[in-house]
Structure 1
């Protein structure tokens, strides 16, 4: 079965302010993949998504009082967990006004508004001074960036020397079969993705921008069940998705999740690096 192609959304904000809202209502507050230790791990979606957040928290190893940049912050739940776990100050950025407003609202409700703030900012052109953050992470946001190299360069600029970076991202894994290419193309066509990165690309762009001690793990097997479970969840709110995009595209989007879950070309990495 080949996923049907549809016109790409206007921009990243359009994805998360549209179908992303529906996906989130079915999936839960952590709008990202989950991490399971192995096939026998029966952790809930909430436990698995928290576990992936905890992996990111350990990756940046931020110390109390430090300032952390959250690149592509969503509505803030991973940032809130980071603040509570490490007693840091987080600045989250997003190109969705809806996400920024909701994240600041949730921070206030949680009593964290003094340590977690969110603003509308383009990650490829950040308004922050050089060396103004102690650590940074990009949690499933890099795949949306039109120029990942520019984002890495900007991140290197705003990080102090010795500052740590952690990235969790959907990637392309080769070799790519024709069926796998159809799945990857569907991702790009429907989720405001210019292209999917590879492990080799990440190694090069990090080295080119002064990052050292780069460690990259392919965790595709650990996160792989996410899309099947998400498809099941979205089926429960299928009527809302149909109202937004129509029956044909709703069917295609749900089918795509299952196809992507089974496609070895659709991978996932976790990396850490240090700003030299």
Structure 2
């Protein structure tokens, strides 16, 4: 599977209704509480111009537009997500503050220095060319602009077999990196990391949430699960492996902030 096929497959998976059933409105560990913490770390102020990369169905962008009164451009690889996010913005009365575009994180369709801040939640780990994406973050930031990332972390050499392969890539695990590796990727793009935080408990809570929802859907909507390609036989082993990987430090979740040199 080539570079673009991987991106298309991941984007298609995250635009499906089954993902919303399993993960709820916020597709990342920590949910909106961690998004609020990230926004606070970036010290967002009204009317800042913010780019939300891999904006999904718009949860992060709409929170920032509503609570922090910033102007947000969201970009996502899946047209279905873009349409849903724009519809949500219109319904919330935020169309003037939140605009969504279909596009590629590795080729952002924006001019140099357009944004005061860039956010990217639980998505850098899925990008095939992380260095190129980070360079794009830096390019569209103004000098002194800030980047905020929350993402899955792993020790890839210790991942169990259940957490490898395309399915694990879609689940934000197989191509995730250690926390210091993300910092190095950002640094090479000219983004100086200012703070890092571990939020591994958020990963455990999401695993518990997925397990609970799977058990419910197994009873109430088994056809929807099978139609979506969910392997109910393998799922318990995958979740068990993920929980053990968090416990031994192989798998986790983190928040990073960085600044572009003035």
Secondary structure of 2:108's counterpart equals: coil
Could you tell me which residue of structure 1 aligns to residue 41 of structure 2? 59
Could you tell me which residue of structure 2 aligns to residue 23 of structure 1? 19
Which structure has more RCO (C-alpha within 8 Å, separation ≥ 6)?
Answer: 1
The answer to whether 1:141 aligns with 2:123 is: yes
Secondary structure of 1:169's counterpart equals: strand
Q: CA deviation at 1:261?
A: 2.2
Q: Contact 2:21–2:213 (CA<8 Å) still a contact in 1?
A: no
1:191 is matched with which residue: 147, 158, 170? Answer: 170
Secondary structure of 1:108's counterpart equals: helix
1:273 is matched with which residue: 244, 255, 258? Answer: 258
Q: Contact 1:64–1:86 (CA<8 Å) still a contact in 2?
A: yes
- Map residues 1-276 of structure 1 onto 2, 5 A cutoff: 11-18=9-16, 21-34=17-30, 49-173=31-155, 176=158, 180-186=159-165, 189=168, 191=170, 195-238=175-218, 239=222, 240-245=224-229, 249-264=231-246, 265-276=250-261
Q: Deviations over 1:143-182 (max 9, x none)?
A: 1100111110000000001111110111113772xxx332
Could you tell me which residue of structure 1 aligns to residue 3 of structure 2? none
Count of residues in Structure 1 that have an aligned counterpart in Structure 2 = 248
Structure 1 stretch displaced more, 263-272 or 125-134: 263-272
Alpha-carbon RMSD across the aligned residues, in angstroms, is 2.2
Q: Contact 1:228–1:258 (CA<8 Å) still a contact in 2?
A: no
Structure 1 stretch displaced more, 148-157 or 75-84: 75-84
Secondary structure of 1:203's counterpart equals: helix
Q: Contact 1:159–1:275 (CA<8 Å) still a contact in 2?
A: yes
Q: Contact 1:23–1:234 (CA<8 Å) still a contact in 2?
A: no
Structure 2 stretches of 5 or more lacking a match? Answer: 1-5
Q: Distance in 1 between matches of 2:8 and 2:77?
A: 12
Secondary structure of 2:234's counterpart equals: helix
Q: Distance in 2 between matches of 1:157 and 1:225?
A: 35
Structure 1 stretches of 5 or more lacking a match? Answer: 1-7, 35-48
Could you tell me which residue of structure 2 aligns to residue 39 of structure 1? none
Q: Contact 1:124–1:151 (CA<8 Å) still a contact in 2?
A: yes
**TM-score, normalised with respect to structure 1:** 0.83
Q: Distance in 2 between matches of 1:11 and 1:224?
A: 25
> Which 4+ stretches in 1 moved above 4 angstroms?
186-190
Q: Deviations over 1:53-107 (max 9, x none)?
A: 2112112222111110001101011211111121100000111111000000111
Q: 1:190 to 1:147 in 2, by over 3 A?
A: closer
Q: Distance in 1 between matches of 2:7 and 2:94?
A: 33
Q: CA deviation at 1:187?
A: 6.6
Secondary structure of 1:130's counterpart equals: coil
